[in-house]
Amino acid sequence: MLCVSPTTPGPCAARRPHRPSCTATTCIGSPRRRWRLARFQDSAAAAPPAGRLTRPPPPPSPSSSQPLPVPAPRTTAERLGSLREMRRVWWVCGLGYWVQGFRCFPWLALNFHLTRGLGLTPAALQLVQNAGNLPLVAKPLFGVLSDAVYVGRAHRLPYISIGALLQLMAWGTLAVIPVTGDTFPTQMACILIGNLGASVTEVVSDAVVTEFSRTQKAGVLQSYAFIVLAAGSLLGNLSGGYVLLRTQEPKTMFSAFSILLGLQLALSLSTKETLPSSHRNWNIRHVRTSLSDNLRKQFSNLRTAISEEQIFYPLMWIMTSFAVVPILSGTMFCFQTQHLKLDPSVIGLSKVVGQVMVLSLTVLYNKYLKKIPLRQLVAGVQTMYALAVLSDLVLVKQVNLMLGIPNEIHVLCFSALAEAIAQFKVLPFSVLLSSQCPPGCEGSLFAFFTSGLVFSAIVSGVFGVGLSSLIGVSGGDYTSFPLCILLQSLAALLPLGWISFLPEKWTADDKILKPR
């Protein structure tokens, strides 16, 4: 039994110096009352009137509509541990972007594998390239799943692991099956599965960047992702052409990429997810509602986000700007390798130069270009893209030889220029959508964005096949190829006709989109 006096310690306190003094004339013996007494003493500044102890409100149940209680402050060790886990998450995310860029390493070998090993024509090669991208169109589904469906208490890293596993299975199979016409359906299935896994990883990585970007300076994390992506592409193209030239064996490159995917899978499985939405959203959204309700709500949130004017119009512009331009990548690849007899190393190095351009443009954007209004910036980039397409016309007409420039030098300097500008054009729109994306809809919205870009690329690829077939460009006849390139350059100027759909005054430093 503990005795206390109203204001000052009494005789019982003097006899028991180890007992704490109190401020209410009462006798408190039960554990619950002692706990209330200690709570009362710790908050003496906000104490109730003497002689009256108030009972704290009970914590709300998971099914209650009341807000969850504020968690207790974390210790220094807990904060340091959380920081370490967050850094590991960024390692996984950064490696995902790097592997995504490094995919050009096996794809360069796959193009030679399909043309030399299976004897595909330029039109057939381009159809295979675009058909293989069909799984990327399903990205909105993966985005909704990563936003709404938790695996354990995590909803990002498990999907990165699934994507890495699918890619590992696909490229590992391509490394062991024989190169014959009978195995083409199996090889096509592997291409589809590999791109399916890549689409899952890309969606989740974009969602992680969007979640963290709200606490960082505008455009910093998007620039980081683009730099890591371009670095992976740079190394992939640089090493891909060299390895293919030395070994003449695409399967060696498939095996090497499979080992890299195995490392990515191991890192994602061994990392604990530490994200702003991981635990709190799991408690709030997934204890109270069923899986079907979560999915239905997520699809509804996605429709609501897309219907917003500040999101809908930029999405439509960027998608149509890619869709209306016919892509002639397969025809150009066959022209360079079969007609001009260029080495794989030259083509790989040209991609390296392109990624260096992307890196330079990304750094330039982060320093200076993001201060330019979006409509003005995109108009300039689109005009540069149309001019860069004409550089292929110089190569096809062999004007470079008249100027004393060898084909290898021209391909190294200008072949990947248009592709680099097109890749950079996505960055301002990524920053825009990150600033306008509603909380909890990061994966869904960016999955819809990237799948729309993939669908636009497929449409433009089909247009390219139709254009080359209509004009009469084939594996042995490239006399009409200059006309295709000229029409492609003119088509690149068409999106300037509806550029008024983009906001006129918005810059990357703006937090709220101004009406257009």
> What is the tens place of the pLDDT at every residue in 377-424?
999 999 999 999 988 888 888 888 898 889 888 888 888 888 889 989
Per-residue pLDDT band at 210 (split at 50, 70, 90)? confident
With CA atoms as reference, report the closest residue to 171 among 192, 150, 153: 192
Q: What tens digit of pLDDT does each residue of 272-321 get?
A: 776 655 544 444 444 445 667 777 787 788 888 888 888 899 999 999 99
Q: What tens digit of pLDDT does each residue of 49-60 get?
A: 444 444 444 444
The reported pLDDT for the residue numbered 320 is 94
With CA atoms as reference, report the closest residue to 95 among 239, 278, 269, 353: 269
Compute φ and ψ for 151, nearest 5 degrees: -105, 105
Which of the pair, 74 or 282, is modelled with greater confidence?
74
| Distance separating alpha carbons of residues 449 and 429, to the nearest angstrom | 9
Q: Which two tokens stand for residue 20?
A: 């704490």
- The number of beta carbons lying within 10 Å of the beta carbon of residue 508 is 24
Q: Give one word for 248, left, alpha or beta, with left for phi > 0 and alpha for psi -120 to 50.
A: left
The reported pLDDT for the residue numbered 216 is 59
pTM, two decimal places: 0.63
- The number of beta carbons lying within 10 Å of the beta carbon of residue 207 is 28
Which of the pair, 482 or 509, is modelled with greater confidence?
482
- The number of beta carbons lying within 10 Å of the beta carbon of residue 287 is 10
- Contact assessment for residue 413 and residue 353, using Cβ atoms and an 8 Å cutoff: yes
The reported pLDDT for the residue numbered 486 is 93
Q: What tens digit of pLDDT does each residue of 313-350 get?
A: 999 999 999 999 998 887 888 888 888 888 777 877 88
Domains and CATH numbers, the chain: 82-274+298-501 (1.20.1250.20)
With CA atoms as reference, report the closest residue to 417 among 382, 388, 376: 388
Q: What tens digit of pLDDT does each residue of 100-110 get?
A: 889 888 888 88
Average pLDDT, the chain: 76
SS3 content of the chain, % helix, strand, coil (to 5): 70, 0, 30
Which of the pair, 61 or 502, is modelled with greater confidence?
502
